[in-house]
Amino acid sequence: MQGTLRDWRAVLVFVGPALLLYTLILLIPIIWSLGYTLFSGSVITGFKFVGLGNFVQLTQDQKFQSALWFGTKYALVVSSGQVVLGLLLALLYAFYLRKTSVLVRTIVFLPAVLPTVAVGQMFAKLFAIAPQYGLVNSLLHRVGLDSLVQAWLGQAGTAFWVIAAMDIWKAMGFYAVLLYAGLVEIPEEVLEAARLDGAKGWNLARFVVVPLIFPIMISSLIFSLNGTLKVFDSIMALTGGGPGTSTMPLTLYFQKVAFTYSDYGYGSTVALMLALQSLIVTLLIFRRARKDVT
C-alpha cells in the first residue's frame, strides 16, 4: 500500500479523474466568477473593466444591504429553530419514546425529503387570504378572531415568519435524526452513573448529554447556517422575494442582478460577499466552539 502511494503514476490514475472533475466543475468557475467582479456587463452587452467599482457600488446599494440584513436575520432565526427543535426531538426519541420512536422519527423526517416547491405551495395555501381563506385564516375566522385575519404573505413582517416556520418545519426532522445518532452513541454506563449521582431530567440533559454531543451540535449548526444563508428555493417558491424586496436574500438578489439585469460582474460581486459571509460565520463558530471545549 505504501509503495502504491509513493508511485505518482498510481496516484494520478486514482486521484486524477476526480481532481480533473473537481477542477472543471468547481475551481475554474470560482476563479472565473472572481474575475467577473472586476467587470460590469454580460456576454450579450459586452464587458467593461471597472476595477473595484463593483465593491464601491455595494457600499451604496440599499437593496444589497437590505438583502444582507434579511439573510442574516433569517439564518439566525431558522438555524436556531432547526437545531434547538432538532435537539428536543432527539432527546424525546432517545429518552422517552426509545424503541417506539421509529414511526415518529419517520413522520417528522418526511418533510425533509419533500420537494421544496411542493412545501412552498402547501404553506401558500395554508396562509392564503384570496380567492378564499386558507386554513390559518379560516380557523381564526371560526373562533371569532377576525381582527387577526390578514394577508400573511403580503406583508413583510408576517411573510418573514411564515418562511421561517416553513423552513424550520421542513428541516427539523433531519437535524433530529442527526443529533439522535449522536445520542445513541453515548455509553449507557455514563448516563447511569449520572443518574446515581442525582442528575435527572433537565439537569441530565444540560450537564451530561449536551456536552457529550456538543461536537455534533456544532456540526449541525454550521451545516444549518450555511444552508440558510444560501437559501433560494424555499423563498422563491413561497414569496419570490416579495412583497417588494422585503424577503429577498443575497441569493435571490444575485440571481436577479446577474440573469435579469444582465450584470454578471456586479452579480459575481454579490455572490462573493455571500461566500465571505458563510466563511466568516463558519470560522466564528469554530473559534467559539474551540474556546468552549478548552
Domains of the chain are 62-293 (1.10.3720.10)
**What pLDDT score was predicted for residue 4?**
52
In terms of pLDDT, which residue wins out, 245 or 202?
Answer: 245
What whole-number distance in Å separates Cα of residue 68 and Cα of residue 74?
10
Assess whether pLDDT exceeds 60 at residue 52.
yes
**What pLDDT score was predicted for residue 6?**
64
**What pLDDT score was predicted for residue 203?**
82
Confidence tier at 266 by pLDDT (50, 70, 90): very high
**What pLDDT score was predicted for residue 95?**
85
Q: H-helix or E-strand containing 40?
A: strand 39-42
Query: Minimal CA–CA distance to 245: which of 230, 256, 261?
Result: 256
116 within 8 A of 233, measured Cβ to Cβ: yes
Percent of the chain with pLDDT over 90: 57
pTM more than 0.75: yes
- The residue-averaged pLDDT of 114-140 equals 92
Assess whether pLDDT exceeds 60 at residue 5.
no
With 0-12 CB in 10 A as exposed, 13-18 as middle and 19+ as buried, what is 129?
middle
DSSP SS3 for 103: helix
Q: H-helix or E-strand containing 175?
A: helix 156-183
